[in-house]
Amino acid sequence: MIRALRRPLVALVLLLSLALTSLAACGGSTRSGWASDEAIQAARHVHGGAPELTLVTIMHRETGRGDHTGLFINGRERVIFDPAGSWHLPEIPQRGDVHFGMTTAAGASYYLSHVRETHYAVVQRVAVSSEVAEQAMTLALSYGAVAPARCASTTAALLRQLPGFESIGSTFFPQVLMRNFAALPGVQEYELRHDDPDVQIKARRVQEPLGRAVF
């Protein structure tokens, strides 16, 4: 009887270990803070183009596992919500896990810091109304510094509160969120890979306003 009970227990432990391993890349913000209004205003970047949301999923090349989720929000200004992320630029002010002043150069830094021999980035862009973009930013700021391993679940919870995104299901797994996001109407999808000789150019071009040729 004891032996029979051990088998499902061992299986459960292995399953939990696998889940924790797959979420380990959302390790938690190491530089979360609360920048002053003056710092944010000075860094504010108006990207132009239509308001949009860009879901970024960092995928493991060998396993097909999603290791991190981030969300660019382009409304009256451009920011990135990087829940439980470790990306940081000293000149970019931050509140919780929202980074302000996301210029094209800052965005390229974000992409290229994640794209490497072991990982590639899936970039999914969709146009939204200015109201939805502002709501997304308000929600992102409300989460503060997100706990480790909750990058996908927090982003999914944020999206699900927005008009037009109610179909986004709850999940802890970035690759599942990526697939759910892909099912939304009007999504444009791109990949950034380290072995592409034009990856540095594409990391900038993928941020061009919607409607322009990307690559």
- How far is Cα 155 from Cα 193, in angstroms, rounded to an integer? 23
- pLDDT at 1 (0 to 100): 44
Q: What is the 3-state secondary structure (H, E, C) of the chain?
A: CHHHHHHHHHHHHHHHHHHHHHCCCCCCCCCCEECCHHHHHHHCCCCCCCCEEEEEEEEECCCCCEEEEEEEEECCCEEEECCCCCCCCCCCCEEECEECCCCHHHHHHHHHHHCCCCEEEEEEEEECCHHHHHHHHHHHHHCCCCCCCCHHHHHHHHHHCCCCCCCCCCCCCHHHHHHHHHCCCCCEEEEECCCCCCHHHHHHHCCCCCCCCCC
- pLDDT at 95 (0 to 100): 96
- How far is Cα 75 from Cα 199, in angstroms, rounded to an integer? 26
Q: What are residue 68's DSSP bridge partners?
A: 58
Structure tokens given for 5: 């009970």
- pLDDT at 49 (0 to 100): 87
- pLDDT at 33 (0 to 100): 79
pLDDT along the chain (215 residues), means of 10: 41 36 53 86 93 98 97 97 95 96 98 98 98 98 97 98 98 98 97 98 96 77
